[in-house]
Amino acid sequence: MAENTVNVSIPRRWIVGMHAAGALLGFGAAFVIGPLVTWLLGLAGDAPGPLRLAAGLPLVWAIPVLTLAGLGVGFWFAKEWQKENGTITTTPEGVTVHRAGSNRYVARERIGGVFTDGRDLIVTDSATNELLRVNTDKVLVDRLRDAFERFDYPWQGTRDPHDHAFATWVDGSGLLDARTHDLLRARQRALADKRPGAAEDARDELRNLGIAVRDRHGAQQYRVIGRGE
């Protein structure tokens, strides 16, 4: 069974490396925090309270305290990195994305194309409708490609083959109907308010209308399925 399942997530060695990097930064900070605070006091006449507190520690205490603090920061960043990317499971039967306590499955027979576009992994059907678009770190791209090619999925590379068909959304333009504008407007507000769940709900509704949407350079771009392909 294991031979027919490939799980792709942030490698453990990267997680351990981030923990170690945090600890090393904390260790190094123990030696520079004093001169840094002295420089800030001379330049601005003041320094942030936490920095002054750390600078007041004897070196024998500053080393373990700041090393542990750096390790804690490294753990936090590693946990957020893992949470953001989750795990992508590929089998001959389909693809499952495990992320933020939820799971999303796409059956193999529905899949007509798989590719990455920047930090997105996209799965489409044979008519180029987007079945799945999830944020994926670039360090995982090679492993994802290997997983999909292993099970003969139609891997299409690291650039959206439909890139030319995307247009930047302009609110109120006559190129889209009122319902589509309403959904894009709602999604824009959800992104601005940091409500990813609401933004994803709007994307799902747009997908049902035959509209693919992505975020580029602080703006939403859309593609009408079948138009300009």
Q: What is the CATH number of the domain that holds 165?
A: 2.30.29
Tens-place pLDDT, residues 8-31 = 999 888 899 999 999 999 898 888
Indicate whether 154 belongs to any domain: yes
Q: Assess whether 79 and 126 both reside in one domain.
A: no
| Domain count within the chain | 2
Q: Assess whether 148 and 171 both reside in one domain.
A: yes
Indicate whether 69 belongs to any domain: yes
Tens-place pLDDT, residues 33-77 = 877 767 766 777 666 777 777 777 788 888 888 899 999 999 999
Alpha-carbon distance of 90 to 108, in angstroms, equals 10
Domain range holding 18?
A: 8-85
Task: Write down which residue in 37, 57, 85 finishes a domain.
Answer: 85
φ and ψ at residue 123, rounded to 5 degrees: -120, 125
Q: Is the pLDDT of residue 100 over 80?
A: no
Q: Assess whether 107 and 218 both reside in one domain.
A: yes
Indicate whether 2 belongs to any domain: no
Q: Is the pLDDT of residue 157 over 70?
A: yes
Q: Is the pLDDT of residue 89 over 80?
A: yes
Helix ranges (DSSP H) in 45-176? 49-55, 59-85, 141-150
Q: From the CB of residue 76, how many other CB atoms can be counted at a distance below 10 Å?
A: 12
Alpha-carbon distance of 115 to 34, in angstroms, equals 50
Q: How confident is the model at residue 2 (pLDDT cuts 50, 70, 90)?
A: low
Q: What does each C-alpha distance from 113 to 163, 189, 198 come to in angstroms? A: 14, 30, 26
Indicate whether 1 belongs to any domain: no
Tens-place pLDDT, residues 34-46 = 777 677 667 776 6
Task: Burial-class residue 57 by CB neighbours within 10 Å (0-12, 13-18, 19+).
Answer: middle
Q: Assess whether 209 and 105 both reside in one domain.
A: yes
| pLDDT for the residue 33 | 80
Indicate whether 73 belongs to any domain: yes
Indicate whether 108 belongs to any domain: yes
Q: What's the DSSP call for residue 140?
A: G
Q: Assess whether 28 and 129 both reside in one domain.
A: no
Q: How confident is the model at residue 1 (pLDDT cuts 50, 70, 90)?
A: very low
Q: Assess whether 103 and 211 both reside in one domain.
A: yes
Average the pLDDT over 186-213 and give the result: 94
Q: Assess whether 203 and 142 both reside in one domain.
A: yes
Q: Assess whether 77 and 100 both reside in one domain.
A: no
Closest CA to 166 of 203, 208, 219: 219
Q: Assess whether 97 and 168 both reside in one domain.
A: yes
Angle 70-71-75 (CA atoms, 0-180°, nearest 5)?
120
Alpha-carbon distance of 43 to 45, in angstroms, equals 6
pTM: 0.79
**In the predicted model, what is the mean pLDDT of the chain?**
89
Q: Assess whether 144 and 75 both reside in one domain.
A: no
Task: Write down which residue in 47, 68, 85 finishes a domain.
Answer: 85
Indicate whether 114 belongs to any domain: yes
Q: Assess whether 116 and 184 both reside in one domain.
A: yes
Q: Assess whether 72 and 105 both reside in one domain.
A: no
Task: Write down which residue in 85, 110, 130 finishes a domain.
Answer: 85
% of residues, the chain, pLDDT over 70: 95
Average the pLDDT over 184-210 and give the result: 94
